[in-house]
Amino acid sequence: MTVRVLLADDEELVRTGLRMILGAEPGLEVVGEAANGEEAIRLVEELAPDVVLMDLRMPVLDGLEATRRLQDATVAIVILTTFDTDTNVHGALAAGAAGFLLKDAPAERLVAAVRAAAAGDAVLAGSAAKRVVGQLVRRTVSPVDPQQLDALTAREREVLSLMADGCSNAEIAGRLYIGEGTVKTHVARILMKLGVRDRLQAVVVAYRCGLAG
């Protein structure tokens, strides 16, 4: 099935580059482009894309507010960020974004992120994920019991640790020499055992319990 992608960035050069990279990949199709958050919301309603690559800093309506307004839509939003200057990544994640990708990420990482988001995976930009999750951990005030991790098997702990490193299901499968379907099963069990709704929340628990950091 073709993954339909909407690009939302106020810089035409950035959109052009993204369109060229994604358009060259089988199974990926750029169905629209938006130069601001309002256009992104309108095009999501009109085009029903599977994934939105959303810049945070845009005129008229920024990517953070656009993400908040789209949190009930059936679309996976991946935040495009320079990270060092964007301070609202955690807000977008809290609003329901599937994750974030650094703008200087290599082409293969971009393609993998789009496919992962379309498959329902969280997208965390490698080592930078630790800094963003660190912000989320500091902003989380609910108590965490380190014994939450006791219910996890040794393999599930390995999977969760790699999730905290920003690895996709495919990357986890490659590192552990197991099938991607098996990874998905482990992830589903981790979420159930930790009582969290998504991968990002599971990673936050891992950091707060000392499994990652």
Sign of CA dihedral 85, 62, 25, 50: positive
Average pLDDT, the chain: 85
Residue 129 banded pLDDT, cuts 50, 70, 90: low
Q: What is the 8-class DSSP label of residue 5? A: E
pLDDT value at 19 more than 90? yes
Name the one residue in this structure whose structure tokens are 């750029």: 30
Amino acid, single-letter form, for residue 196: V
User: What DSSP string describes 96-135?
Assistant: T--EEEETT--HHHHHHHHHHHHTT--B--TTHHHHHHHH
Residue 14 banded pLDDT, cuts 50, 70, 90: very high
Q: Which domains does the chain have, with CATH numbers?
A: 3-125 (3.40.50.2300), 144-208 (1.10.10.10)
Q: Which of 93, 190, 186 is nearest to 139 (CA)?
A: 93
Token pair of 29 as six digits? 């199709």
- Max mean pLDDT among 38-42, 95-99, 129-133 falls in 38-42
Token pair of 91 as six digits? 């807000």
Amino acid, single-letter form, for residue 110: L
Residue 199, number of CB atoms within 10 A of its CB = 23
Sheet-wide strand order for 28-34: 28-34, 3-8, 51-55, 76-81, 99-102
Of 81-85, 89-93, 142-146, 188-192, minimum mean pLDDT range? 142-146
Q: What is the pLDDT of residue 183?
A: 92
Q: What is the pLDDT of residue 33?
A: 97
Whole-prediction pTM:
0.74
**Residue that wins the pLDDT comparison between 1 and 30:** 30
**Residue that wins the pLDDT comparison between 114 and 109:** 114
pLDDT value at 132 more than 60? yes
Q: What is the pLDDT of residue 12?
A: 94
Contacts (Cβ under 8 Å, ≥6 apart) of 67:
54, 77, 79, 92, 95, 96, 97
pLDDT value at 141 more than 90? no
Q: Which of 16, 66, 9 is nearest to 42 (CA)?
A: 66
Name the one residue in this structure whose structure tokens are 């939105």: 52
What are the φ and ψ backbone dihedral angles of 45, each rounded to 5 degrees? -65, -40
Q: What is the pLDDT of residue 22?
A: 96
Element (H, E) at 19: helix 12-23
Name the one residue in this structure whose structure tokens are 């309603």: 45
pLDDT value at 163 more than 80? yes
**Each residue of 29-87: pLDDT tens digit?**
999 999 999 999 999 999 999 999 999 889 999 999 999 999 888 899 999 887 656 66
Q: What is the pLDDT of residue 180?
A: 87
